[in-house]
Structure 1
Amino acid sequence: MARILIADDSETITTLLATALQSSGYEVEVATDGNQAYQMGLESEHDLAILDQLMPGLLGLEVIDRWREAGIETPVIILTGVDDERTAVESLDRGAVDFVRKPFRLPELMARIRQRI
């Protein structure tokens, strides 16, 4: 069973994603801020992480940077409310495997997740 880390400060989003992923047979862990996401990534392996770019504590891109410095190569999908091409390009350049803007379509995001696992 694939393990997915979801990190977002929106309880609505984490609940929606966790429910959909668990219903699809994935094991899910949830972090509510960037510091917690970073620690969870250090403490256990995940097949994929879905990180909000604008979280309290560390930003999503900062989590990626620190994981890579620590040798953690977990694939990351960045979720963000920022509709900015520069942010999308920077996310991909810094190691994200995908970039999804909020509001997102759940079936499309689930397809992107399946593609990455």
Structure 2
Amino acid sequence: MTTTDVGSPRVLVVEDDPELQAMLVTLLTDDGYHVETAPDGHRGLHLGLTRAYEVLLLDRRLPAIDGVDLLGRLRGRGVTTPVLMLSALANPSDRVEGLDAGAEDYLGKPFDVDELLARLRALRRRHLDTARSLPLGAGRLDLDARLVITADDRDDVRLSDRECDLLATLAGRPTQVHGRQDLLAIVFPEAGSEIVVDTYVHYLRRKLGKGIVATVRGRGYQLGSL
């Protein structure tokens, strides 16, 4: 399920209780989020690995893969998106387990709606404060300046908005293979053909060298080397 505008901050809600999931969708949509949902850990894992979000909202007790295991798998695959975990298990040992698995915050059920929204805003602020520069091997991508800053004597390289968005998506999860359809949805949502993804990969290679984007045959693209 997907709601609201693609320009809004994206959140994934992984919750198996239909009533609570529907309430969260309404709440977050009204607060300006683009909401996607998963009813179990398997679907949550797939979406978390293949799509980009600003924040993840995970229930601790999920069918198929529980929330702690799901979070551990995401972190093990290089997903650094901030996570708020929800749970009816509110004793300290459960909170510690969730935080040790990689959650940035943990909120017990039942929760106060205003507190939930405030915690999500705080997670987004902290994430944005630390995510304006992404490593590219020995170099880095400055997202605000749209500039690739090299570590050797080469001149820095300025990118267009879409080139920067594409490279940032790849660099944000450097070990992940990104399907062309996923890149189309994330970076070029208004385009109708995957050819635009291949075109911008060509542009990046022309500016930064052929190795900057690796082709994984039959699967898509992955961050290469600068």
Scaled by the length of structure 2, the TM-score of the pair is 0.51
Runs (5+) with no aligned partner, structure 2: 1-7, 125-226
How many residue pairs get aligned? The number is 117
Distance 2:112 2:45 in 1: 26
Asked whether 1:43 is paired with 2:50, we answer yes
Distance 2:38 2:64 in 1: 11
Match of 1:80 in 2: 87
Larger Rg: 2
**107, 114, 136: which one aligns with 1:100:** 107
Asked whether 1:11 is paired with 2:24, we answer no
Percent identity, please.
35
Q: Give CA-to-partner distance per residue, 1:52-73, whole Å, 9 cap, x none.
A: 0001011111111111111111
| Structure of greater relative contact order (alpha carbons < 8 Å, 6+ residues apart) | 1
**75, 97, 112: which one aligns with 1:90:** 97
Distance 1:106 1:32 in 2: 21
Asked whether 1:70 is paired with 2:57, we answer no
Q: Give CA-to-partner distance per residue, 1:24-78, whole Å, 9 cap, x none.
A: 1110001000111000101101111110000101111111111111111111111
**56, 59, 65: which one aligns with 1:52:** 59
SS at match of 1:28: strand
Asked whether 1:115 is paired with 2:122, we answer yes
Distance 2:72 2:100 in 1: 11
Runs (5+) with no aligned partner, structure 1: none
Q: Give CA-to-partner distance per residue, 1:69-102, whole Å, 9 cap, x none.
A: 1111111111001122101011112210110111
Deviation at 1:13, TM superposition (A): 1.1
SS at match of 2:81: coil
SS at match of 1:57: coil
Asked whether 1:21 is paired with 2:20, we answer no
Deviation at 1:9, TM superposition (A): 0.6
Distance 1:17 1:5 in 2: 11
Let me know the Cα RMSD of the aligned residues: 0.8
Instruction: Give the letter aligned to residue 103 of structure 1.
Output: P
Distance 2:98 2:15 in 1: 16
Instruction: Give the letter aligned to residue 106 of structure 2.
Output: F
Deviation at 1:108, TM superposition (A): 0.8
Distance 1:9 1:19 in 2: 16
